[in-house]
Amino acid sequence: MRRLAALTVFLLGVTPAFAHGVGYRIVDGAVALSFYYSTGDAMAWMEAEVFSPNDAEFPFQTGRTDAEGCFAFVPNTPGLWRVAVKDNQGHMAEAEVGVEQGGVYTMESVGSPMGAALYLRAALGVSLIFNAAAVLLIIRRRKANCT
């Protein structure tokens, strides 16, 4: 009888236990950036750090870019946010994103665009052609002066 009474008290005192679950939602106001080398190749799986306007020394967020060189973060305060992505070979790209109240973003500065590498290659190619032509002219003049 005592056992039945104890069991009854125990069962009456038990409440159902619910496990906590998980979920997701799409967050408005995310900033997504794409980082790449001057050759156009994505800076895939590289270390990324985000610095808030309130603390330029300690990162607000750290992580890695994805396979396409993309990295995203959600700023929690207006101001100038800095995102730095670096590889283990000494390359680093930095972007500064201005965040205004209400989630309006402006790019303050971005690392050198991919087009800059194309212009640099074109300029170097033209320079190579002119230098080769100059060397040929100098050789012809010396030959002409020797005879």
Q: Give 14-45 as a DSSP string.
A: ------------PPTT-EEEE-B-TTS-B-TT
**Residue 63 contacts residue 71 (beta carbons within 8 Å):** yes
| Whole-model pTM over 0.85 | no
pLDDT range class, residue 3, cuts 50, 70, 90: confident
In this structure, how many other beta carbons lie within 10 angstroms of the beta carbon of residue 47?
16
Task: Write out pLDDT tens, residues 32-76.
Answer: 999 999 889 999 999 999 999 999 999 999 999 999 999 999 999
pLDDT of residue 111: 53
Nearest by Cα to 77 from 60, 58, 94: 60
Reading the block at residue 138, the tokens are 């100098």
Tell me the average pLDDT across 134-144: 86
Looking at domain 27-111, its CATH class is mainly beta
pLDDT of residue 141: 86
pLDDT range class, residue 119, cuts 50, 70, 90: low
pLDDT of residue 137: 86
pLDDT of residue 42: 95
Average of per-residue pLDDT values in the chain: 83
**Residue 41 contacts residue 55 (beta carbons within 8 Å):** no
Q: Give domain limits for the chain.
A: 27-111, 113-147
pLDDT of residue 66: 97
How far lies 136's CA from each of 26, 94, 123, 125, 126, in Å?
A: 65, 44, 20, 17, 16
CA distance 76 to 59: 13
Rg (CA), the chain: 31
pLDDT of residue 87: 93
Nearest by Cα to 116 from 37, 12, 28, 13: 37
pLDDT of 14 > 70? The answer is no
